[in-house]
Each structure stands twice: as structure tokens, then as C-alpha cells.
Amino acid sequence: MPLKRFLKQPLQRLSDLQSKYNIFTSISITANKEQTNKPLTNYVASIKDNIVTKDLPTTCASHILENFKSPYDATVVKLLKQAGVHILGKTNLDEFGMGSGGVHSMRGPVINPLYPHEQGMIMGGSSSGAAASVVCDLVDFALGTDTGGSVRLPACYGSILGFKPSYGRLSRFGVIAYSQSLDTVGILTKKIDVLRKVFQVLDKYDTKDPTSLNDELRGLIEKNMKAKKPLKIGIVKEFNHESLPSVFHELYSSFLKKLVNLGHEIYPVSIPSVKNSLPIYYTLSPAEAASNLSRYDGIRYGYRDSKLDIKDGVLFAPTRSKFGIEVKNRIILGNYNLCSDAFKNNFIKAEKLRVNLIDEFDRIFRFPNVLTDSKGNPEGLDILVVPTSSKLPETIKDFQEQESKSPANSYINDVFTVPMSLAGLPTLSMPLKEKTPIGVQIVGQYGDDSTVLDFVESLS
């Protein structure tokens, strides 16, 4: 059965949008045969192209995985298929998920459909195509991955919902690792009820993923659940709000007023370690990336240099020169961090600081953390509200210019999203105004995804 029947839009529109915004890396118009009485029957979804699928190629938008087709489906893909979802295609991204602009792809940058495409505005990354597919209403929801903000930032720039669940809730089996102590599968959509349904389908323990949250701990979290009303909401001092654009401040203060009117209590709170987040993140994630990307040698799959396997005495250098510039930068940085001379000073220190950050989060939340055995602070907060981005979307040209001056310019963009990645906290970015690329993140304690979802639902 052709997928057209289920498409909310005619096929012609799909190809128009694709040529304008560069959303997909591959498209499939074969429909899912599982269609009756499944929880997500007739839903259409897109999958970020760093999540493996049997039916479509998986490229990570990298030359190194040119024409790679996985012999198996990722667990999240399998679960969606079983739930009756039609998968429309694989979406464009920053190569291997590395980037926050959506510009580092061998298929070219994704353009933000919130703006006329001639303006060439960035979508935000790395789940750029995922966000664009939702913004254009080509799909009901998209699966992305979020390592340091890769679901939340493009969701914010597309004025849609972007949810990064607690680390370990959604299986990573079949998600191509960038930095797997942080990588989290996320859901992008316009509707909170859709988000909930999809989350429910995917929120399962997977024995194939060693970091999957096991049933025992899930049960413990369930037991800790209590109905809370009103909520205690925290505003974190260390997130520098002054730097934000003035248009943000207007929307933000009316949002906070709305919360007060709904009877919630708002408190300022301090998390000193937040200021260490970027150094921690850019020490650990490139190191993990350098390690994870060592497998791309061209021998078993993917691109391989046709002539040489060795250059200047380095095995596989000719093949691996095909990585894009941003990926190469991070591999170099990562290998530097892992060098025996630097390891103790950088990597170990970063891991310690990461633990400190998690401890500080544990101290301000009321909900217990089952991973750290924190009992929860009885006087603590239920959720935090944090801006999603320090900037508004810019043109691709400006973004690339900034980046070419210093890669750090684009790294700074992650300042509001990275702390929650380091602590594995459930975080949902929601727009403050329709069709406006300004959003806030609703952050819950580890495992307390339902409070975050309930809260966002209560606002709609």
C-alpha cells in the first residue's frame, strides 16, 4: 500500500519542501503493514539518520558511511513499526550529530522552514532535519538524538516541542554513538498528546542496551511518584539571562506570570557547577567521539579509499580523511584529551566535575534520584525553567563565518542545554509563542519525566 494515502500532504509538496529545506537524506513511500488497532496506527514519523533502519540507508550525513545499510533496526525503530507507525524517511543532521547549526552535513545544511527559504536561516542542530520535518507538517513526530542539546535547540528554532527524556529511558541500541554517556533519543512534535503517546511506546527497558534503565529502577521511580500541586519551580541564577535578546525577556516574563497565576511557586536557585558545564562537555564528548569513531576503517562497511589503507605509517588514514571538518576537529580534540599526558588533567577532572554537577542537581530537587541514591530534598523543587537558546536563529552564512573565526563560537550555543545532558535529566523545550523561535526548557529530576510532561500538558 502506498504511503500517500497516509500522508497528510500530497507527494508533490514533499518534494518541494525537500528541495527547499533539505530535510531528508532518504525517503520511503512504502507504508507500514501493521495498521489496525495499534497505539500509533496511521501516525507518520521521520527518523534521524544516525538511527539505524533496515529499509533505508543510514549515513550519519557522513561520506564515511556512504551507502551504508544496516542489517537490523534500532530498538526504537522496531517499537515504532510494531506500534503501527509509517516511517517516511531519514532526516538530515550534522555529521554524526556533531554540531549545533545543522550545517555540517555531506548533504548540505538544513534550512529553517519557519522562514522563507531564500533567507537561508539555520534550523539548529544536530537534529536539524528532524525538526524541519515536523515544522513542515510532513510527519506527526520525529525521532532525533540529543547529546548536548541536539533535539532541544532545533525544536526551539522551529517553535515546536523537543523532548529529551531521562538518560536510559529510551533504548540506544541501534543509535550510532557520538558520545554515549550523553546520547539520548528524543522526540520532536507539535502536540503534547502525540509526544506522550510516542514516549509511552518507546519508554521500555532494553536488554540490548547496557545503559538502559532496568525494570527494577523503573519500578522504584514509579513508587516515588506523588501528585504535586502547586509545583515548586526554580529559576537558575547561573544561567546568564542578561545576554538573551530583548524579545525573549518579554515572552519569558509573561510566561512566568502565567505560572504564578496558575498557582505555582517560583524560586531562584543556585547551581554553581553549571558554569563548568561547557568545559566538562567539550572534554568528555570529543573523547568518547574519538573512541567511537575509531571503527570507521572502511574494511567491513562504508566508504573505503580505493588505493591505500595506510599513509605516513598511519593505518586507515586515507579512508578516514573523508570525515568532515567538524568531526575531524572533535576527533583531534578527543584524542588530545585521552593522551596519557593529558588524561589525568583533563578527562578525570571532567568526570569528577560532572559528578559534582549531578550532586548539585540532586540537592535542589524534591524527587529522589534512583541512580545516585539521593533521597531528594523535602524542601526541594519539582521542575526548573531554563531558556533553550542564548540566540535567535541566524543565517547559515553568518553562522559559518562565526564558526570559521573560532569553533568555540558555535560551542557556546550549547550553554543552556548541556548541563541537563551531563546529568541525564528529562528536559522538554517548548515554544513561548506560536511560530516564534524562542523557547524554554522544562527540566525535571532524573527519572521524573512524567512531571515534566504533565506540566507542559497542563499549560496547553
Residues near other proteins, by CB under 8 A: 51-52, 58, 60, 65, 68, 70-72, 74, 172-177, 179-181, 207-211, 287-288, 290-291, 293-297, 299-301, 309-310, 314-316, 335, 338-340, 343, 347, 351
For other proteins, give the closer residue by CB, 161 or 370. 370
Q: How far is the CB of 431 from other proteins (least distance, A)?
A: 31
Q: How far is the CB of 447 from other proteins (least distance, A)?
A: 17
- Residues linked to residue 232 through DSSP beta bridges, in sequence order: 265
Q: How far is the CB of 311 from other proteins (least distance, A)?
A: 10
For other proteins, give the closer residue by CB, 43 or 296. 296
CA 397 to CA 408: how far, in whole Å? 17
**Residue that the C-alpha cell 543552556 belongs to:** 416
Q: How far is the CB of 310 from other proteins (least distance, A)?
A: 5
For other proteins, give the closer residue by CB, 137 or 305. 305
For other proteins, give the closer residue by CB, 158 or 165. 165
Helix (H, G, I), strand (E, B) or coil at 286: helix
For other proteins, give the closer residue by CB, 1 or 308. 308
Structure-block grid coordinates of residue 375: 533521597
- DSSP state string for 183-197: -EEEEEES-HHHHHH
429 membership: H or E segment, kind and range: strand 427-431
Q: How far is the CB of 227 from other proteins (least distance, A)?
A: 33
Is the CA virtual torsion 362, 368, 374, 380 positive or negative? positive
Q: What CA–CA distances, in Å, run from 224 to 69, 356, 372, 443, 447? A: 42, 24, 14, 17, 10
CA 60 to CA 142: how far, in whole Å? 16
Question: Where do the H-state alpha helices sit in 93-187?
Answer: 128-135, 152-157
Is the CA virtual torsion 432, 113, 391, 356 positive or negative? positive
**Straight-line distance from the first to the last Cα atom of the chain, in angstroms, rounded to the nearest whole number:** 36
For other proteins, give the closer residue by CB, 74 or 132. 74
CA-atom Rg of the chain in angstroms? 21
Q: How far is the CB of 427 from other proteins (least distance, A)?
A: 20
For other proteins, give the closer residue by CB, 11 or 315. 315
Active site residues: 48, 126, 150
Which phi and psi angles does 338 have, rounded to 5°? -95, -10
- Residues linked to residue 146 through DSSP beta bridges, in sequence order: 184
Q: How far is the CB of 290 from other proteins (least distance, A)?
A: 8
Structural contact between residues 172 and 208, judged by C-beta atoms closer than 8 angstroms: no
Cis ω before 230 (30° cut-off from 0): yes
Q: Tell me, rounded to whole angstroms, the distance of Cα 61 from its chain centroid.
A: 16
